[in-house]
Chains A and B, each alone.
Chain A
């Protein structure tokens, strides 16, 4: 062994760790006795996170600025002692200088790391300070846990168990503050529970650009209020309930619905616009109780618009279609899937190829759009379109394209504008040239400018919907369809990112997954078509046919999705966040 050694020892100037790190733009930090290299300018709390140590905190949020006002993240910091004038710094055997620990703690959220810095996240000093901070935070906090919606996911509960004293020494009277305050249409404020972390204030100011929240009064009477004359009616207001570490801000929609510990989380995505914000669907049994955003820095950061997260309520209404219907003597009667599919195919088969059109939806998943294309091929028609849904972007997360899968449609159908033929079909129906129509997931009368009398001219109309609607009343065959939370499917968002939904609940009644009903219809039209066993198989054949999807499976997409194409579209909120990260305002 010693024969190999000279190569090492012969180096006259051994490089110190600080120099090695500096070459990469890193610094060496000792966290709880362990040395690691972290990028220069990292906050101490993030550095601790890198070694797997979670420093308890309330006000710090990586997507928001750090005012450092909760004091929960206090840690002990140490730096090498400043050498006497003229003296060279002394390095130990390991190449590091000795750390001189500071007697007072510092906050980990707003301080950045430096070379040879030491951080202690445990120890007597840190633990007693945390205990003290917890005691102060709990002084005026009411014993509301049994009725508080936050109970179970409350940071105050968690940290008081982990770091608190366990018992109150407070003998004085607690401060009374307003409770159950109506400050906006989606948000309820309880000032007594507030611990003044100011996350909501900063969110409304920095992210939502609607600074209606602020502190009023001083000292122990400080409370969060909405500015006089304003209300918290912003479309992003529910995010404040998400980031509120306690139950001060709670959602009106979820208020007293269910305790969070009963809820099962299913990772999914939002399908109300082209952004496809990542979400978590919270369910108990077969009921959805709430939808919350899930962090994905390439799609929605950590936020989500209120309108989209409350959209799940429309899925749990009484007017859902639950079984296939066929029209008999002008009335819809329930029937079996077998009969409904046969009836649908029979009517389509009687028409010439150029007399059949298919109106699909940009709300359909890739698998369904792929099967729709196959059906169009089987029928020999090229009248295939989606209904366009272009509106104004809100400049944050809501895309101008309200269809969640326009990109997917154009990729799969191989066309630049999948909605191009809608006008031609509308005219064809009006003029009577088109005799048969398949409508999937769209209400033509309400959203596509069709007229009821035109639909009456059709000899055959097959439609598929989640809910009963005017278009369905004209249809000869109506197939029930599943909603976003009831299926496992993939979507491509406006930026070209392939993402997936997961099934959180089971669709009502006899409703079948859409791919199943489409595949059954296709099997009726094309005798050689082999019905796939699962939705995975459809994605497999889709991936083998379409270049952009090559090699993609449900597994490879993962929870955060994969970029499969570049469309050049950007998400405004992400751009704004990028600018703030670059200017050092937030960690990101």
Chain B
């Protein structure tokens, strides 16, 4: 490997005193400060901020319009167009979940149920949103396309128990998804 000798830049006497540069620096920082005070921060417009800095004032201003299609928010369970549970509690998401946020208790669908063909569904399905890292592995691993990362990101609570999403809450967030899933297909 070639050795490149980097010379220190030769400083003039003025530069050596530093005061000039320090003053220049102060002018730059002050300019930013004044622009910010006047509500004209650089890049504020593009980000739709108030101009007092480029930060969005969160609860009042939201970025929802700009949320990309692939945004990974809270994981949730979805039902199909006939309100049937897609999840069959195969527990693959529980297995793959890196922070072990998912806990499933499998259950059997009673034989008198209209959709007893599928035999299995989750009795309980808890996702601990304190643990969840929004990685999307559950969505990726799900063989029944039953769990999706929804764009919901405002997951708050004042107690730990509130942060555990149970089955009901997960279906509430998840809503409906259409599209054929193999298990309902009589021919498969």
Is there any pair of Cβ atoms, one from A and one from B, under 8 angstroms apart in the complex?
Answer: yes
C-alpha spacing A258/B107, complex, angstroms: 10
Query: In the complex, which residues of chain A have a beta carbon less than 8 angstroms from the beta carbon of B182?
Result: 143
Task: Name A residues whose Cβ lies closer than 8 Å to a Cβ of B.
Answer: 142-143, 145-147, 151, 173-174, 176, 179-180, 255-259, 261-262
CB pair A258 B188 closer than 8 Å: no
Query: In the complex, which residues of chain B have a beta carbon less than 8 angstroms from the beta carbon of A255?
Result: 108
CB pair B90 A147 closer than 8 Å: yes
Return A579 CB to nearest CB of chain B, in Å: 42
Chain B minimum-CB-distance residue to A188: B119
C-alpha spacing A518/B143, complex, angstroms: 53
Query: In the complex, which residues of chain B have a beta carbon less than 8 angstroms from the beta carbon of A261?
Result: 95
Return B167 CB to nearest CB of chain A, in Å: 16
CB pair B106 A262 closer than 8 Å: no
- New contact pairs (6) apart from A256-B106, A262-B95, CB-CB < 8 Å: A145-B90, A147-B90, A173-B187, A179-B117, A180-B111, A257-B106
Task: Name B residues whose Cβ lies closer than 8 Å to a Cβ of A.
Answer: 88-92, 94-95, 106-108, 111, 116-120, 143-144, 182-183, 186-188
CB pair A142 B88 closer than 8 Å: no
Return A138 CB to nearest CB of chain B, in Å: 12
Chain A minimum-CB-distance residue to B144: A146
Please tell me which one of the listed residues A145, A147, A173 contacts residue B118 in the complex, with CB atoms under 8 A apart. A147
A sample of 28 cross-chain residue pairs with beta-carbon separation below 8 angstroms, ordered by A number, consists of: A143-B182, A143-B183, A145-B90, A146-B88, A146-B90, A147-B89, A147-B90, A147-B119, A147-B120, A147-B183, A174-B187, A176-B186, A179-B117, A180-B111, A180-B116, A180-B119, A256-B89, A256-B106, A256-B119, A256-B120, A257-B106, A258-B106, A259-B90, A259-B91, A259-B95, A261-B95, A262-B91, A262-B95
Count of A-B contacts judged by CB separation below 8 Å: 47
Query: In the complex, which residues of chain B have a beta carbon less than 8 angstroms from the beta carbon of A257?
Result: 106
CB pair A256 B90 closer than 8 Å: no
Return A205 CB to nearest CB of chain B, in Å: 29
Query: In the complex, which residues of chain B have a beta carbon less than 8 angstroms from the beta carbon of A173?
Result: 187
Chain A minimum-CB-distance residue to B188: A143
C-alpha spacing A392/B82, complex, angstroms: 56
CB pair A146 B92 closer than 8 Å: yes
CB pair B95 A146 closer than 8 Å: no
CB pair B95 A256 closer than 8 Å: no
Chain B minimum-CB-distance residue to A190: B119
CB pair B183 A146 closer than 8 Å: yes
C-alpha spacing A147/B107, complex, angstroms: 10
Query: In the complex, which residues of chain A have a beta carbon less than 8 angstroms from the beta carbon of B118?
Result: 147
Query: In the complex, which residues of chain B have a beta carbon less than 8 angstroms from the beta carbon of A145?
Result: 90, 143
Query: In the complex, which residues of chain A have a beta carbon less than 8 angstroms from the beta carbon of B143?
Result: 145-146
